């Protein structure tokens, strides 16, 4: 687990590992719909395309991409709901 998960107050964690595009982003959108504004979603994914997807999603949606990290071949994203 990343140090960021320990320093940020994560409200929900989404395990999207082994899912291929577009499922990690779709599952993240669904999870964000259950959160309140300001809460943080931590997503774990193995699809390399998710790097581009989450960056672009944050730009278009207004949600804040707080951080990204790659740990042991997994991609981790922290989004704050806007």
Catalytically active residues, by annotation: 21
3-state secondary structure of 67: strand
Show the tokens assigned to 27. Answer: 């599952």
Show the tokens assigned to 8. Answer: 């940020």
Burial (Cβ within 10 Å: 0-12, 13-18, ≥19) of residue 41: buried
């Amino acid at each position: 687990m990343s140090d960021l998960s320990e320093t940020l107050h994560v409200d929900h964690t989404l395990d999207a590992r082994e899912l291929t595009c577009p499922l990690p982003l779709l599952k993240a959108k669904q999870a964000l719909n259950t959160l309140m504004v300001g809460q943080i979603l931590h997503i774990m994914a193995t699809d390399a395309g998710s790097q581009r997807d989450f960056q672009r999603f944050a730009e278009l949606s207004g949600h804040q991409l707080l951080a990204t990290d790659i740990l042991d071949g997994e991609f981790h994203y922290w989004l704050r709901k806007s």
